[in-house]
Amino acid sequence: MNPVLTALLHAANKQRDDSLIVTDPAELFRLLDLDPALLAAAQTASGLFSLRVPRSYVARMRKRDPNDPLLRQVLPIADETIPTPGFTSDPVGDCQALVAPGVLHKYQGRVLLMTTGACGIHCRYCFRRDFPYAQSVVGTPQRRVALDYLANQPDVSEVILSGGDPLSLSNRRLAVLLEELAAVPHLRRLRIHSRQPIVMPERIDSALLELLNTSRFKVVMVVHVNHPQEIDKTVRASLARLAAADVCLFNQAVLLRAVNDSVDTLVELSEALFSAGVIPYYLHLLDRVRGTAHFEVSEDRARQLMEELRRSLPGYLVPRLVREQPGKPAKIPIL
Protein backbone atom coordinates (compact mmCIF):
# COMPACT_ATOMS: atom_id res chain seq x y z
CA MET A 1 0.00 0.00 0.00
CA ASN A 2 1.11 3.57 -0.68
CA PRO A 3 2.90 4.78 2.50
CA VAL A 4 1.07 8.12 2.41
CA LEU A 5 -2.28 6.33 2.21
CA THR A 6 -1.21 4.00 5.03
CA ALA A 7 -0.36 6.98 7.23
CA LEU A 8 -3.68 8.64 6.46
CA LEU A 9 -5.62 5.46 7.27
CA HIS A 10 -3.68 5.05 10.53
CA ALA A 11 -4.46 8.64 11.51
CA ALA A 12 -8.13 8.20 10.65
CA ASN A 13 -8.35 4.97 12.68
CA LYS A 14 -6.61 6.62 15.63
CA GLN A 15 -8.99 9.58 15.50
CA ARG A 16 -11.98 7.22 15.40
CA ASP A 17 -10.63 5.16 18.31
CA ASP A 18 -9.82 8.29 20.35
CA SER A 19 -13.40 9.51 19.90
CA LEU A 20 -14.57 6.40 21.80
CA ILE A 21 -12.35 7.13 24.80
CA VAL A 22 -12.61 9.75 27.55
CA THR A 23 -9.20 11.09 28.60
CA ASP A 24 -10.09 14.51 30.05
CA PRO A 25 -11.41 14.56 33.64
CA ALA A 26 -13.54 17.61 32.80
CA GLU A 27 -15.36 15.63 30.10
CA LEU A 28 -15.94 12.72 32.48
CA PHE A 29 -17.41 15.14 35.02
CA ARG A 30 -19.67 16.63 32.35
CA LEU A 31 -20.90 13.23 31.12
CA LEU A 32 -21.77 12.07 34.65
CA ASP A 33 -22.86 15.42 36.09
CA LEU A 34 -20.35 15.14 38.94
CA ASP A 35 -19.67 17.75 41.60
CA PRO A 36 -17.25 20.32 40.05
CA ALA A 37 -15.60 20.72 43.47
CA LEU A 38 -13.91 17.34 42.87
CA LEU A 39 -12.50 18.25 39.47
CA ALA A 40 -9.25 19.95 40.54
CA ALA A 41 -8.15 16.87 42.49
CA ALA A 42 -9.03 14.63 39.53
CA GLN A 43 -6.94 16.75 37.19
CA THR A 44 -3.97 16.68 39.59
CA ALA A 45 -4.14 12.90 40.05
CA SER A 46 -4.54 12.29 36.32
CA GLY A 47 -1.25 14.12 35.84
CA LEU A 48 0.42 11.26 37.73
CA PHE A 49 -1.49 8.49 35.94
CA SER A 50 -3.63 9.51 33.02
CA LEU A 51 -7.39 9.04 32.80
CA ARG A 52 -8.56 6.65 30.10
CA VAL A 53 -12.04 5.12 29.99
CA PRO A 54 -14.26 4.01 27.08
CA ARG A 55 -17.51 5.91 26.64
CA SER A 56 -19.42 2.63 26.55
CA TYR A 57 -18.08 1.86 30.03
CA VAL A 58 -19.01 5.34 31.26
CA ALA A 59 -22.55 4.66 30.04
CA ARG A 60 -22.86 1.88 32.65
CA MET A 61 -22.20 4.32 35.51
CA ARG A 62 -24.79 6.13 37.59
CA LYS A 63 -24.88 9.88 37.10
CA ARG A 64 -24.23 12.28 39.99
CA ASP A 65 -22.75 9.45 42.08
CA PRO A 66 -19.01 9.76 42.85
CA ASN A 67 -19.26 6.42 44.69
CA ASP A 68 -20.53 4.45 41.71
CA PRO A 69 -18.46 1.22 41.77
CA LEU A 70 -17.44 1.51 38.12
CA LEU A 71 -16.58 5.18 38.38
CA ARG A 72 -14.53 4.57 41.51
CA GLN A 73 -12.29 2.20 39.52
CA VAL A 74 -11.33 4.90 37.00
CA LEU A 75 -11.83 8.30 38.67
CA PRO A 76 -8.56 10.04 39.67
CA ILE A 77 -8.85 11.36 43.24
CA ALA A 78 -6.72 13.28 45.72
CA ASP A 79 -5.89 10.14 47.75
CA GLU A 80 -3.64 8.95 44.91
CA THR A 81 -1.25 11.82 45.53
CA ILE A 82 -0.59 10.89 49.18
CA PRO A 83 2.58 8.79 49.69
CA THR A 84 1.93 5.69 51.81
CA PRO A 85 4.65 3.50 53.41
CA GLY A 86 4.76 0.03 51.90
CA PHE A 87 3.28 1.10 48.56
CA THR A 88 5.91 0.98 45.80
CA SER A 89 6.31 1.30 42.05
CA ASP A 90 6.82 -2.46 41.46
CA PRO A 91 4.83 -4.32 44.13
CA VAL A 92 4.91 -7.77 42.51
CA GLY A 93 8.53 -7.82 41.33
CA ASP A 94 7.87 -7.61 37.61
CA CYS A 95 11.11 -5.79 36.86
CA GLN A 96 13.26 -8.34 38.68
CA ALA A 97 11.51 -11.15 36.75
CA LEU A 98 12.43 -9.72 33.33
CA VAL A 99 14.71 -12.23 31.61
CA ALA A 100 14.65 -10.55 28.18
CA PRO A 101 12.92 -7.47 26.74
CA GLY A 102 9.22 -7.98 27.42
CA VAL A 103 9.66 -11.49 28.84
CA LEU A 104 8.70 -12.25 32.46
CA HIS A 105 9.55 -15.70 33.77
CA LYS A 106 8.25 -16.03 37.34
CA TYR A 107 6.63 -19.45 37.50
CA GLN A 108 7.60 -22.92 36.35
CA GLY A 109 6.13 -24.03 33.03
CA ARG A 110 4.83 -20.67 31.87
CA VAL A 111 6.23 -17.42 30.56
CA LEU A 112 4.53 -14.04 30.25
CA LEU A 113 5.05 -11.71 27.29
CA MET A 114 4.49 -7.98 27.74
CA THR A 115 2.94 -7.39 24.35
CA THR A 116 2.12 -3.68 24.66
CA GLY A 117 1.82 -0.85 27.13
CA ALA A 118 -1.52 0.21 25.62
CA CYS A 119 -4.76 -0.51 27.45
CA GLY A 120 -8.42 0.20 26.74
CA ILE A 121 -8.94 1.54 30.27
CA HIS A 122 -6.73 2.89 33.03
CA CYS A 123 -7.82 1.28 36.29
CA ARG A 124 -6.64 3.43 39.18
CA TYR A 125 -5.47 0.38 41.16
CA CYS A 126 -3.36 -0.99 38.27
CA PHE A 127 -0.25 -2.68 39.64
CA ARG A 128 1.64 -1.79 36.44
CA ARG A 129 0.83 1.91 36.46
CA ASP A 130 4.58 2.61 36.86
CA PHE A 131 5.92 -0.23 34.71
CA PRO A 132 8.65 0.90 32.23
CA TYR A 133 6.82 -0.20 29.09
CA ALA A 134 9.01 1.84 26.75
CA GLN A 135 11.96 -0.48 27.44
CA SER A 136 10.09 -3.66 28.30
CA VAL A 137 7.61 -4.81 25.67
CA VAL A 138 7.94 -7.43 22.98
CA GLY A 139 8.00 -5.03 20.05
CA THR A 140 9.15 -6.02 16.57
CA PRO A 141 12.88 -5.43 17.17
CA GLN A 142 12.89 -7.37 20.47
CA ARG A 143 10.56 -10.20 19.48
CA ARG A 144 13.33 -12.42 18.09
CA VAL A 145 15.06 -12.33 21.47
CA ALA A 146 11.82 -13.32 23.21
CA LEU A 147 11.14 -16.16 20.78
CA ASP A 148 14.70 -17.45 21.13
CA TYR A 149 14.28 -17.45 24.90
CA LEU A 150 11.06 -19.45 24.64
CA ALA A 151 12.62 -21.89 22.20
CA ASN A 152 15.36 -22.61 24.74
CA GLN A 153 12.92 -23.35 27.60
CA PRO A 154 11.58 -26.84 26.78
CA ASP A 155 9.76 -27.09 30.15
CA VAL A 156 7.57 -24.10 29.26
CA SER A 157 4.22 -25.28 27.88
CA GLU A 158 2.15 -22.10 28.29
CA VAL A 159 2.71 -18.59 27.03
CA ILE A 160 0.75 -15.73 28.57
CA LEU A 161 0.03 -12.55 26.61
CA SER A 162 -0.30 -9.55 28.90
CA GLY A 163 0.54 -5.88 29.02
CA GLY A 164 -1.15 -3.32 29.00
CA ASP A 165 -3.79 -5.28 27.16
CA PRO A 166 -2.76 -7.66 24.35
CA LEU A 167 -6.09 -7.09 22.59
CA SER A 168 -5.00 -3.48 22.12
CA LEU A 169 -2.90 -4.92 19.31
CA SER A 170 -4.50 -5.16 15.89
CA ASN A 171 -5.65 -8.54 14.60
CA ARG A 172 -2.85 -8.39 12.03
CA ARG A 173 -0.17 -7.93 14.68
CA LEU A 174 -1.71 -10.60 16.87
CA ALA A 175 -1.78 -13.02 13.93
CA VAL A 176 1.94 -12.50 13.28
CA LEU A 177 2.77 -13.03 16.96
CA LEU A 178 0.62 -16.16 17.25
CA GLU A 179 2.17 -17.63 14.10
CA GLU A 180 5.65 -17.10 15.52
CA LEU A 181 4.69 -18.61 18.86
CA ALA A 182 3.08 -21.60 17.15
CA ALA A 183 6.48 -22.41 15.65
CA VAL A 184 7.81 -23.17 19.15
CA PRO A 185 6.96 -26.87 19.38
CA HIS A 186 6.78 -27.33 23.16
CA LEU A 187 4.21 -24.54 23.66
CA ARG A 188 0.73 -26.05 24.09
CA ARG A 189 -1.46 -23.36 25.64
CA LEU A 190 -1.99 -19.71 24.90
CA ARG A 191 -3.35 -17.59 27.73
CA ILE A 192 -4.56 -14.04 27.11
CA HIS A 193 -5.14 -11.61 29.97
CA SER A 194 -7.53 -8.94 28.76
CA ARG A 195 -10.07 -6.45 30.03
CA GLN A 196 -11.18 -5.58 26.49
CA PRO A 197 -14.13 -8.02 26.33
CA ILE A 198 -15.51 -6.17 29.37
CA VAL A 199 -14.72 -2.51 28.76
CA MET A 200 -14.72 -2.57 24.92
CA PRO A 201 -16.80 -5.62 23.96
CA GLU A 202 -16.88 -4.54 20.32
CA ARG A 203 -13.19 -5.53 20.15
CA ILE A 204 -14.28 -9.19 20.01
CA ASP A 205 -14.86 -9.13 16.26
CA SER A 206 -15.12 -11.95 13.74
CA ALA A 207 -11.49 -11.65 12.62
CA LEU A 208 -10.21 -12.04 16.18
CA LEU A 209 -12.52 -15.00 16.81
CA GLU A 210 -11.32 -16.74 13.66
CA LEU A 211 -7.70 -16.11 14.66
CA LEU A 212 -8.23 -17.69 18.08
CA ASN A 213 -10.39 -20.53 16.82
CA THR A 214 -7.89 -21.60 14.14
CA SER A 215 -4.83 -21.41 16.36
CA ARG A 216 -3.11 -24.71 17.12
CA PHE A 217 -3.06 -23.67 20.79
CA LYS A 218 -5.65 -24.41 23.40
CA VAL A 219 -6.71 -20.83 24.13
CA VAL A 220 -7.53 -19.59 27.62
CA MET A 221 -8.70 -16.02 28.24
CA VAL A 222 -8.62 -14.48 31.69
CA VAL A 223 -10.90 -11.46 31.79
CA HIS A 224 -11.11 -8.89 34.58
CA VAL A 225 -14.46 -8.03 36.16
CA ASN A 226 -14.69 -6.55 39.65
CA HIS A 227 -18.38 -5.70 39.90
CA PRO A 228 -21.57 -7.22 38.43
CA GLN A 229 -22.60 -3.81 37.07
CA GLU A 230 -19.80 -4.22 34.50
CA ILE A 231 -21.61 -7.11 32.83
CA ASP A 232 -24.29 -5.77 30.51
CA LYS A 233 -25.83 -7.36 27.42
CA THR A 234 -23.00 -6.24 25.14
CA VAL A 235 -20.43 -7.83 27.46
CA ARG A 236 -22.45 -11.04 27.69
CA ALA A 237 -22.56 -11.14 23.89
CA SER A 238 -18.78 -10.69 23.59
CA LEU A 239 -18.17 -13.47 26.11
CA ALA A 240 -20.62 -15.76 24.31
CA ARG A 241 -18.74 -15.19 21.04
CA LEU A 242 -15.46 -16.16 22.71
CA ALA A 243 -16.98 -19.29 24.24
CA ALA A 244 -18.41 -20.27 20.85
CA ALA A 245 -14.87 -20.01 19.46
CA ASP A 246 -13.77 -22.65 22.02
CA VAL A 247 -11.97 -20.16 24.25
CA CYS A 248 -11.91 -21.16 27.94
CA LEU A 249 -13.00 -18.18 30.05
CA PHE A 250 -11.90 -17.36 33.59
CA ASN A 251 -12.16 -14.20 35.66
CA GLN A 252 -9.75 -12.53 38.00
CA ALA A 253 -11.03 -9.75 40.23
CA VAL A 254 -9.32 -7.46 42.71
CA LEU A 255 -10.84 -6.94 46.13
CA LEU A 256 -11.36 -3.17 46.32
CA ARG A 257 -12.65 -1.06 49.16
CA ALA A 258 -16.02 0.58 48.37
CA VAL A 259 -16.21 -1.30 45.05
CA ASN A 260 -16.78 -4.99 45.81
CA ASP A 261 -15.92 -5.53 49.49
CA SER A 262 -19.34 -6.88 50.44
CA VAL A 263 -20.57 -10.44 50.35
CA ASP A 264 -23.72 -9.46 48.43
CA THR A 265 -21.66 -7.87 45.65
CA LEU A 266 -19.25 -10.80 45.43
CA VAL A 267 -22.09 -13.33 45.33
CA GLU A 268 -23.81 -11.37 42.59
CA LEU A 269 -20.52 -11.09 40.70
CA SER A 270 -19.91 -14.85 40.74
CA GLU A 271 -23.49 -15.56 39.66
CA ALA A 272 -23.29 -13.01 36.84
CA LEU A 273 -19.97 -14.37 35.63
CA PHE A 274 -21.17 -17.96 35.59
CA SER A 275 -24.36 -17.05 33.75
CA ALA A 276 -22.12 -15.38 31.14
CA GLY A 277 -19.98 -18.51 30.76
CA VAL A 278 -17.03 -17.39 32.89
CA ILE A 279 -15.52 -19.25 35.85
CA PRO A 280 -14.73 -17.00 38.86
CA TYR A 281 -11.09 -17.99 39.32
CA TYR A 282 -9.07 -15.49 41.36
CA LEU A 283 -9.92 -12.79 43.86
CA HIS A 284 -6.69 -10.84 44.41
CA LEU A 285 -5.75 -8.86 47.44
CA LEU A 286 -4.62 -5.43 46.30
CA ASP A 287 -1.11 -5.21 44.86
CA ARG A 288 0.39 -2.39 46.89
CA VAL A 289 1.40 -0.02 44.08
CA ARG A 290 1.87 3.64 44.97
CA GLY A 291 -1.27 5.77 44.90
CA THR A 292 -3.70 2.94 45.69
CA ALA A 293 -3.81 2.67 49.50
CA HIS A 294 -7.41 3.94 49.55
CA PHE A 295 -8.49 0.74 47.75
CA GLU A 296 -6.95 -1.69 50.22
CA VAL A 297 -9.11 -4.19 52.09
CA SER A 298 -7.47 -5.82 55.13
CA GLU A 299 -6.59 -9.49 55.00
CA ASP A 300 -8.81 -10.17 58.03
CA ARG A 301 -11.80 -8.60 56.26
CA ALA A 302 -10.97 -10.59 53.12
CA ARG A 303 -10.95 -13.85 55.07
CA GLN A 304 -14.31 -12.97 56.61
CA LEU A 305 -15.78 -12.30 53.17
CA MET A 306 -14.49 -15.63 51.88
CA GLU A 307 -16.11 -17.47 54.79
CA GLU A 308 -19.41 -15.82 53.97
CA LEU A 309 -18.98 -16.61 50.27
CA ARG A 310 -18.37 -20.28 51.00
CA ARG A 311 -21.62 -20.39 52.95
CA SER A 312 -23.51 -18.62 50.15
CA LEU A 313 -22.23 -20.26 46.96
CA PRO A 314 -21.42 -23.71 45.58
CA GLY A 315 -17.68 -24.35 45.65
CA TYR A 316 -17.19 -23.91 41.91
CA LEU A 317 -18.44 -20.31 42.15
CA VAL A 318 -16.08 -19.32 44.98
CA PRO A 319 -12.93 -17.65 43.62
CA ARG A 320 -9.52 -18.36 45.15
CA LEU A 321 -8.37 -15.56 47.42
CA VAL A 322 -4.70 -14.92 46.65
CA ARG A 323 -1.88 -12.46 47.02
CA GLU A 324 1.09 -12.13 44.66
CA GLN A 325 4.47 -11.66 46.31
CA PRO A 326 7.81 -11.00 44.59
CA GLY A 327 10.07 -14.01 44.23
CA LYS A 328 7.46 -16.63 45.21
CA PRO A 329 6.98 -19.68 42.94
CA ALA A 330 3.19 -19.16 42.67
CA LYS A 331 0.33 -16.97 43.84
CA ILE A 332 -0.01 -17.23 47.63
CA PRO A 333 -3.44 -18.58 48.70
CA ILE A 334 -5.06 -16.82 51.64
CA LEU A 335 -6.73 -19.70 53.48
Please write the tens of the pLDDT for every residue from 34-56.
Answer: 999 999 999 999 999 999 999 99
Q: What is the per-residue pLDDT across 57-78, written as a single tens digit (0 to 9) for each?
A: 999 999 999 999 999 999 999 9
Q: Where are the beta strands (DSSP E) in 173-315?
A: 189-193, 218-223, 248-254, 279-284
Give me the percent of the chain exceeding a pLDDT of 70: 95
pLDDT reported for residue 121: 98
pLDDT reported for residue 245: 96
pLDDT reported for residue 142: 79
Cα 267 from chain centre: 21
Give yes or no for a contact between 195 and 119, defined as CB atoms under 8 angstroms apart.
yes
Of the pLDDT bands very low, low, confident and very high (cuts 50, 70, 90), residue 11 is very low
Helix (H, G, I), strand (E, B) or coil at 328: coil
Give me the percent of the chain exceeding a pLDDT of 90: 89
Number of helical (H) and strand (E) elements in the chain, helices listed first: 12, 12
pLDDT reported for residue 17: 54
Instruction: Answer whether residue 205 shows pLDDT above 90.
Output: yes
Max distance between CA atoms of the chain, in angstroms, equals 63
Which among 173, 178, 237 has a CA at the least distance from the CA of 212? 178
Task: Report the 10 Å Cβ neighbour count for 310.
Answer: 12
* Alpha helices per DSSP H over 80-170: 140-151
Instruction: Answer whether residue 196 shows pLDDT above 70.
Output: yes
Give yes or no for a contact between 275 and 249, defined as CB atoms under 8 angstroms apart.
no
